[in-house]
């Protein structure tokens, strides 16, 4: 069974995001970038499936600028077998990403596609669902438990009321959640080996997809700073402030 994993390059989760002075977007100059944490979980799950003898090959895919190859090297160092880079210097919206992934999937013919449930830069949580819709494949989202059983995959989905258990026929698209696993650290020897592995390069034109954006960013602004709290000396004062100043009661 071949597993395809999508890996997005995002601002590292430890970095404080800064908005450009002209409010045209987020400042990426000299900012540490890394693989989207949810995509790391997807890569780890694919590796565990291979270690269990369920998967035979893991293909990592990343879409974007030349620097996305660093993200693919990370996936290769973790344990992916091959990497595909769809090069595009401009921005990519979820629908364009889904169309590009569909084209790659058409060529690779994987049995299972794994993605993070969302990317921490835009928090869209759309690509996996759009991809499943374009492919006409069953989908499992917010997956925190996953087990492949023959031609089916059983998954536990995190929903508001707890865990929803679903069973899907392969091929399928799964978007993974935080509690599925704990991603491993790549060892130094594997990191060195990953630097020498070839990466298959493609372009949107080769895949027959127009990645032109459909949305226009009007302005990007930081959220308003939180005001400091105040101490009150009695319940009566608290009720008065909640009623007259906060307007919540």
- DSSP, residue by residue, the chain: -EEEEE--EEE-TTSPP-B-TTSSSB--TT--EEE-HHHHHHHHHHHHHHHTTS-SEEEEEEEESTTHHHHHHHHHHHT-SEEEEEE-SS---HHHHHHHHHHHHHHH--SEEEEES--TTT----HHHHHHHHHT--EEEEEEEEEEETTEEEEEEEETTEEEEEEEESSEEEEE-GGG--PPPPPHHHHHHHHHS--EEE-HHHHT-----S-------PPPPPPPP---SSHHHHHHHHHHTS---
Pair 44, 76: CB distance under 8 Å: no
Residue 14 lies in a domain: yes
Kindly state whether residue 240 falls inside one of the protein's structural domains: yes
Residue 110: inside a domain: yes
Please check whether residue 139 is in contact with residue 107, taking contact to mean a CB–CB distance below 8 angstroms.
no
- Which domain CATH number covers 206? 3.40.50.620
**Mean pLDDT of successive 10-residue stretches along the chain, which has 249 residues:** 96 90 87 94 96 95 95 95 94 94 96 95 93 96 93 93 93 94 92 92 95 90 85 91 84
Find, among 117, 56, 46, the residue nearest to 76 by Cα: 46
Does 29 map to a domain?
yes
Task: Please indicate, yes or no, if residue 249 is contained in any of the structural domains.
Answer: no
Closest by CA to 97, choosing from 16, 7, 182, is 7
Residue 172 contacts residue 206 (beta carbons within 8 Å):
no
* Residue span of the structural domain in which 182 resides: 2-244
The label of the residue with tokens 């690779």 reads: 108
- State how many domains the chain has: 1
Q: What is the pLDDT of residue 94?
A: 94
* Any domain includes 193: yes
pTM confidence score: 0.86
Is 21 contained in some domain? Answer: yes
Question: Hey, what are 14's tokens?
Answer: 């430890």
User: Residue 29, class by beta-carbon neighbours within 10 Å (0-12 exposed, 13-18 middle, 19+ buried)?
Assistant: exposed
The Cα 230–Cα 242 span in angstroms is 12
Whole-number Å distance between alpha carbons of 12 and 204: 26
Give the Å distances, CA to CA, from 26 to 11, 13, 20, 142: 10, 14, 6, 27
Cα separation, 131 vs 139, in Å, equals 9
Task: Give the per-residue pLDDT at 29.
Answer: 86
In a domain, 79, yes or no: yes
pLDDT score at 24: 86
């Amino acid at each position: 069974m071949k597993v395809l994993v999508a890996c997005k390059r995002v601002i590292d989760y430890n970095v404080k995001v800064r908005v450009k002075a002209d409010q045209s977007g987020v400042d990426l100059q000299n900012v540490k970038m890394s693989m989207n944490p949810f995509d790391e979980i997807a890569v780890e799950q694919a590796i565990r499936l291979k270690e269990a003898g369920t998967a035979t090959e893991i293909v990592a895919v990343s879409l974007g600028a030349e620097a996305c190859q660093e993200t693919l090297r990370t996936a290769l160092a973790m344990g992916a077998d091959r990497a595909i880079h769809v090069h595009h210097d401009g921005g990519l919206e979820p629908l364009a990403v889904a169309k590009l992934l569909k084209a790659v999937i058409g060529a690779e013919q994987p049995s299972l596609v794994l993605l993070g449930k969302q990317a921490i830069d835009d928090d869209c949580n759309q690509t996996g669902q759009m991809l499943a819709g374009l492919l006409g494949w069953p989908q499992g989202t917010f997956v925190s438990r996953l087990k492949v059983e023959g031609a089916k995959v059983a998954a536990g989905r995190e929903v508001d009321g707890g865990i929803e258990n679903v069973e899907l026929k392969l091929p399928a698209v799964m978007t993974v959640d935080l509690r599925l696993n704990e991603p491993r650290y790549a060892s130094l020897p594997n990191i060195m080996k990953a630097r020498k592995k070839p990466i298959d390069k493609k372009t949107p034109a080769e895949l027959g997809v127009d990645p032109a954006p459909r949305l226009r960013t009007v302005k990007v602004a930081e959220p308003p700073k939180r005001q400091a709290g105040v101490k009150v000396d009695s319940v009566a004062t608290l009720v008065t402030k909640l009623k007259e100043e906060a307007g919540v009661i």
